[in-house]
Structure 1
Amino acid sequence: MFNKKKSKKHDIKKTVKSAVREEIKNTVKSTIVQDFLDSSAESIEKNDQIETDLYIKNNVKRGLRNANGTGVVVGLTKIGDVRGYDMDSAGNKVPIEGKLFYRGYSIEDIVQNCIDENRFGFEEVTFLLIFGTLPSKSELEAFKKMLGAKRELPNGFARDMILTTPSNNIMNKLARSVLALYCYDDNPDDTSISNVLRQSINLIGYFPALIAYAYQAKSSFYDNMSLHLHNPIPELSTSENILRMIRPMGEYMDIEAKLLDLSMILHAEHGGGNNSSFTTHLISSTGTDTYSAISAAIGSLKGPRHGGANIAVINMIADIKAHVPDFNNRGKLDDYLVKLLKKEAYDKSGLIYGMGHAIYTLSDPRAKLLKSMSKKLAENKNLVDDFLLCDYIERRTPQLYAEVTGTEKPMPANVDLYSGFVYDALDIPITIATPLFATARLSGWCAHRIEEIVAGRKLMRPAYKSVQEPREYISMKHRHSSHATKK
């Protein structure tokens, strides 16, 4: 008995020692790998640097922008038109009030008609963008039924593709889900207009469920929250289905759904030059399938320089509230806004998010429309102070910017300032702010994909000029390591 106990203790000690040795070995391996990656990164950064003056010397339009900040014209479109400035004879920008047109129709007229008739308008705008004409009442009803028939995901998709493989990032899950839908399509690679139109309608119908179920899976798996799965209702609008499926009890007020609908109308399209719409044109020019093109557009929108601005606004407002609890104290609020501009607060970027735009100079028409509706929601939900904070940031930022930099320039509020407020007021989780943007912009992406197939008909192939000088090849025995090994 004694020997058995001694033997068991010996085995345990041996196992523990073995486990410790293995852990040390893995830690050493991990450290060596990390050292290699760090030194490689330093080497790559050095090798890939290109001097700024070479871009100027070779007349490179960095970021596809001209020297005056305007975009390089790479195509033509009938879908959307963004007007934020005129050009004088010397090629300088002349600030004007911003205008946005969908298929030639002013966004103000589209939105105002929906408000006057107290109805949802996102489905009408989707029809307009894709088909190029305003729908009749019967055409719109038929289109809504087609979308309604695709509100439910294919059999087993939610379980197999979303719930069993959740992602902590819903944009990542959205892109993967779109690619997975390729496998559920009996004719995925056909790029005829009728087939791409079918695929577009299917995707637009599916998107509310895709983001809602991805959010629920993420909340359950990563955040230890209860899993609430609601079936979509075909008869409901896109915004109503979204609110119903992301909320535990599926409840929502009409004003909430109408404001979300308005936000989606304003985000549906913004010309062919924005990064994700251009990505759609670029990928579609290769002749690839719809699912690949749309997932690429989602990847573009996922980038914080493009689609993440509304999240930046929400986080910035929360930061302001944390540091200036009484934001009715305008003196302290000004002091903090100045700190933001001086890169002394929040993310130290020197930016006040929600202010300024690459195209709009005097005003962003989307911000003006959303602000008007936001005020009504603020009054309804007792959030007037929060709304007034956004209003103050809008009015005061240009003045403070001039004081800090000594430069006066037009700096309008952009749509993200008030869409951030709207999402917060609607208790929409910050993790689905950008996916909501994608759900709205999908209508524009599908329209741009079809336009590229119809009118583009040429593989996009821009040029990159090499600035690497020719080098003589070095045989293996004469080479030295380019990576500094860390001790």
Structure 2
Amino acid sequence: MIRRGSIVTQGKPDKDKQDKGTSPENTPGDAKREKNPKKATVPFEFSPQEYPPDTYPIPSVELGRPPVSDQLYVGFCSIDEVPNELFEKYDVKRGLRNADGSGVLVGLTTISNVHGYNKVNGKLVPDKGDLIYRGYHIDDLVSHPQEEDRFGYEEIAYLLIAGALPTQDQLDDFNARIDSRRLLPEDFFYHFPPKTQSHSIMNIMARSTLMLYAFDKTPDDISPTHEVDVAISMLARLPRIATIAHALYQAKKDDTKLLVPPPREGYSMAESVLDVLRGDEGFTHEEAMMLDIMLMLHAEHGGGNNSTFSCRVLSSSNTDAYSAYAAAMGSLKGPRHGGANTKVGYMVDDIANHVKDWDNEDEIAAYLTQIVQGKAFDHSGLIYGLGHAVYTLSDPRAQLVKRYARKLAKDKGQEDRLNLIEKIEKLGPEVMRDVKGTKKPICANIDLYTGFVYSMLGIPEDMYTPVFAIARMAGWAAHRMEELYGANRIIRPAYNPYMPDNEYVDIKDR
């Protein structure tokens, strides 16, 4: 554990360089630190032994199993139930989904297009999947930087936020602005982390994002200039927050001091993440390029996904950027959204352990059948990593990951596992059709391959979703700005009431 007096430092930047633009942190105090930079070093007083779990002043109630005699808990098991037939009667779009599974149209966007089907005469017609950022196909956006052996995430972040591909000078300036803001405010570490250390890095990221509000001189300013500056600062700092949070967890686990290297000037987003996570082990250029691909593929995915829509909902109220981004992170943490990628890894491990011959498709299909029947793995009847709300015939992101991960898998002796995952992709839909009678097309989504790639890169499992958030920050920023300046109306859907008319009863007569 981290004991009293342990030292946490993020070091000093490689060069005493600070962006002179309109950054929310470009205050007189920051200018003073430019001339006399100091280590952001702070002694923590943190010991989990101070608050043993059995002494927390919060009742320990197992969700779903409250004391039968406790009306407070029992009531919630019944009073919120609404008969399913009423949802059909009133044509309620549960989950904002139409009856055919497509999303309810709630807006128009210039940011991206997630394409998986066509609507012909009111019916969904499956189509090859495509992902388009600002009119550019994801295949082109990924392949060109790869062919030129350069990192592409920052170019995509610029494209999403600014609306156009940058010139070399514009990209250099954008990267310099990100570089200059990677170092967290000096006083930030007096509040990070609190004694009640969270076990979730996503929660720490959301909480830290809200903390950054206090270091912004005009945090409630929603002008375009300020919004762009906050977006750049978040792009720069979110990787730092996530990786330091993970390093802190490891230091606590290993009972060691936490010493985080300073940001390296000129590093790409992918290199910055691996630099802290891999530590003394280091990383190769090929590994950083593979992570860069993953960041590009996760940067944006339309306005209807849960975390982006959450960001847009909050932004429609004209709240500050930090609150909107923290809400998006809370959404992404959910196992139905960003947290799904870890389940795939557990499932693949389970299949690998129970299938003796990874080349035997009959044996693999037989075990997948047991999974779909709810007799194996987690008994959910689900093959994680298969199926998507929009994509029908193919997920372009999954196809790109397969294409570029092959060489890395070969270099690391992981081709057999990649081949196994590809067989799950091939056989899974057939098994689901045979067992469940599923008629609609089912394709592999990117989650089927994400965990495999991250494990090859040495990224810890508890960082899978945080890396997703680091990438999606660009998309959240773009959608927030579009909601602020394009929609100009608070999002306020309707709920029909379902309740009896009651007469008030005096408390002594209840």
SS in 2 for 1:203: helix
Contact 1:340–1:350 (Cα < 8 Å) also in 2: yes
Counterpart position of 2:328: 297
**Taking structure 1 as reference, are residues 476 and 164 closer, same or farther at Cα in structure 2, changes over 3 Å only?**
closer
Contact 2:67–2:73 (Cα < 8 Å) also in 1: no
**1:447 paired to 2:478:** yes
Which residue identity does 1:78 align to in structure 2? T
Which of the residues 288, 295, 313 maps onto 2:319?
Answer: 288
Q: Is 172-181 or 317-326 further displaced after alignment?
A: 317-326
Counterpart position of 1:98: 129
* CA shift for structure 1 position 330: 3.6
In the superposition, the TM-score normalised over structure 2's length comes to: 0.85
SS in 2 for 1:439: helix
Contact 1:79–1:102 (Cα < 8 Å) also in 2: yes
Counterpart position of 2:217: 186
Counterpart position of 1:4: none
Counterpart position of 2:74: 42
Stretches of structure 2 lacking an aligned partner (at least 5 in a row)? 1-55
For 1:208 and 1:407, how far apart are their aligned partners in 2? 40
For 1:225 and 1:387, how far apart are their aligned partners in 2? 36
For 2:258 and 2:371, how far apart are their aligned partners in 1? 39
After superposition, give the CA deviation of every residue in 1:444-463 in whole Å (9 maximum; x if it has no partner): 00011111111111111111
Counterpart position of 1:427: 458
Counterpart position of 1:170: 201
After superposition, give the CA deviation of every residue in 1:281-300 in whole Å (9 maximum; x if it has no partner): 10001111110000000011
Contact 1:314–1:424 (Cα < 8 Å) also in 2: no
For 1:224 and 1:320, how far apart are their aligned partners in 2? 35
SS in 1 for 2:78: helix
* CA shift for structure 1 position 159: 5.1
SS in 2 for 1:46: coil
After superposition, residues 243-282 of structure 1 pair within 5 angstroms as 243-249=274-280, 251-282=282-313
In the superposition, the TM-score normalised over structure 1's length comes to: 0.89
Which of the residues 70, 74, 77 maps onto 2:102?
Answer: 70
After superposition, give the CA deviation of every residue in 1:101-157 in whole Å (9 maximum; x if it has no partner): 001111111111111111100000000000000000000000000001111111132
User: Which one has a bigger Cα radius of gyration?
Assistant: 1
Contact 1:83–1:359 (Cα < 8 Å) also in 2: yes
Q: Is 129-138 or 38-47 further displaced after alignment?
A: 38-47
Contact 1:162–1:213 (Cα < 8 Å) also in 2: no
Contact 1:166–1:214 (Cα < 8 Å) also in 2: no
Counterpart position of 2:40: none
Q: Is 130-139 or 229-238 further displaced after alignment?
A: 229-238
Counterpart position of 1:334: 365
**Equivalent residue pairs, number:** 453
* CA shift for structure 1 position 341: 0.7
After superposition, residues 76-87 of structure 1 pair within 5 angstroms as 76-87=108-119
**1:366 paired to 2:406:** no
Larger proportion of helix: 1
* CA shift for structure 1 position 250: 5.3
Contact 2:68–2:74 (Cα < 8 Å) also in 1: no
Counterpart position of 2:38: none
Q: Is 316-325 or 70-79 further displaced after alignment?
A: 316-325
Counterpart position of 1:230: 261
**Taking structure 1 as reference, are residues 164 and 206 closer, same or farther at Cα in structure 2, changes over 3 Å only?**
farther
After superposition, give the CA deviation of every residue in 1:34-53 in whole Å (9 maximum; x if it has no partner): 63796532221111100101
**1:132 paired to 2:163:** yes
After superposition, give the CA deviation of every residue in 1:13-61 in whole Å (9 maximum; x if it has no partner): xxxxxxxxxxxxx99x989x96379653222111110010111111111
For 1:412 and 1:368, how far apart are their aligned partners in 2? 10
Counterpart position of 2:469: 438
Contact 1:178–1:294 (Cα < 8 Å) also in 2: yes
Contact 2:66–2:74 (Cα < 8 Å) also in 1: no
SS in 1 for 2:115: strand
* CA shift for structure 1 position 277: 0.8
Counterpart position of 2:177: 146
